């Protein structure tokens, strides 16, 4: 039961990371305008995401615009799109695979050894998905950092990390940790398999009188 509880915990963490990746990918606040300068106008705040950019006015109005051209987007935005979508797709596959291999499900109960291997395969796919999303968020965040500390970048054109990046980093960690817990059952042997039957020992013949 201990390994079954570890499987359930790993699946829960990985699925939470899956949801976090979806939320992070759809959010607009991947980067937000910085107020590090002295003469920064704070009447509006600018946010940029993977799919659209938004301007939040001090009056409470929010205006968003979807990116018109894919090829005109910066390289880090295109790469982040690809890696995040790939990570979400892999997580979806991992959810189905891991659900089949978990001990709390009824699938493949007649062969627990294969069932454990399926759960491990699901965990490996979860880890791969987390790494893909981690590459996307790190690449995008590093580009924000380099432009922020670039002396040739105008003060009013500098950006800082948005909420979506922090959510993405947390989701990556949950996905990788959950997948690792699922993979911890790689070396365990199932206890619910068929019992091994040994041939019964032959009864010994009682010694007859007159014989030694």
| Domain at 69, CATH number | 1.20.140.150
pLDDT of residue 212: 45
Structural domain includes residue 112:
yes
Structural domain includes residue 195:
no
Residue 99 makes CB contacts below 8 A (sequence gap 6+) with 11, 105, 107, 122
Structural domain includes residue 194:
no
CA distance 47 to 114: 48
Structural domain includes residue 40:
yes
Contact yes or no for 176/90 (Cβ under 8 A)? no
Angle between helices 75-101 and 2-26 (to 10 degrees): 150
pLDDT of residue 207: 53
pLDDT of residue 205: 56
pLDDT of residue 193: 44
Q: How many domains does the chain have?
A: 1
The token pair at 70 is 């894919």
Contact yes or no for 37/134 (Cβ under 8 A)? no
Residue range(s) defining the domain that contains residue 169: 2-187
pLDDT beneath 70: ranges in the chain:
1-2, 36-43, 185-212
Report which secondary-structure segment, H or E, holds 67.
none
Structural domain includes residue 210:
no
pLDDT of residue 203: 55
pLDDT of residue 192: 44
CA distance 74 to 24: 19
pLDDT of residue 198: 46
pLDDT of residue 174: 96
CA distance 43 to 22: 31
């Amino acid at each position: 039961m201990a390994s079954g509880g570890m499987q359930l915990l790993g699946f829960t963490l990985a699925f939470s990371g899956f949801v976090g990746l979806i939320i992070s990918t759809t959010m607009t606040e991947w980067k937000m305008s910085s107020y590090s300068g002295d003469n920064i106008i704070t009447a509006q705040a600018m946010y940029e995401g993977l799919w659209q950019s938004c301007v939040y006015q001090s009056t409470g109005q929010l205006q968003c615009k979807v990116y018109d051209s894919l090829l005109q987007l910066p390289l880090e935005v295109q790469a982040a799109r690809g890696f995040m979508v790939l990570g979400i797709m892999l997580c979806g596959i991992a959810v189905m695979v891991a659900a089949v291999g978990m001990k709390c499900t009824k699938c493949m109960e007649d062969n627990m050894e294969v069932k454990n291997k399926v759960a491990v395969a699901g965990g490996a796919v979860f880890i791969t998905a987390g790494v893909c999303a981690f590459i996307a968020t790190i690449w995008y965040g590093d580009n924000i950092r380099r432009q922020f500390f670039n002396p040739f970048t105008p003060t009013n054109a500098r950006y800082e990390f948005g909420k979506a990046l922090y959510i993405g980093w947390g989701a990556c960690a949950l996905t990788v940790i959950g997948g690792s817990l699922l993979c911890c059952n790689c070396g365990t042997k199932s206890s619910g398999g068929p019992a091994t039957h040994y041939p019964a020992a032959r009864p010994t013949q009682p010694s007859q009188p007159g014989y030694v």
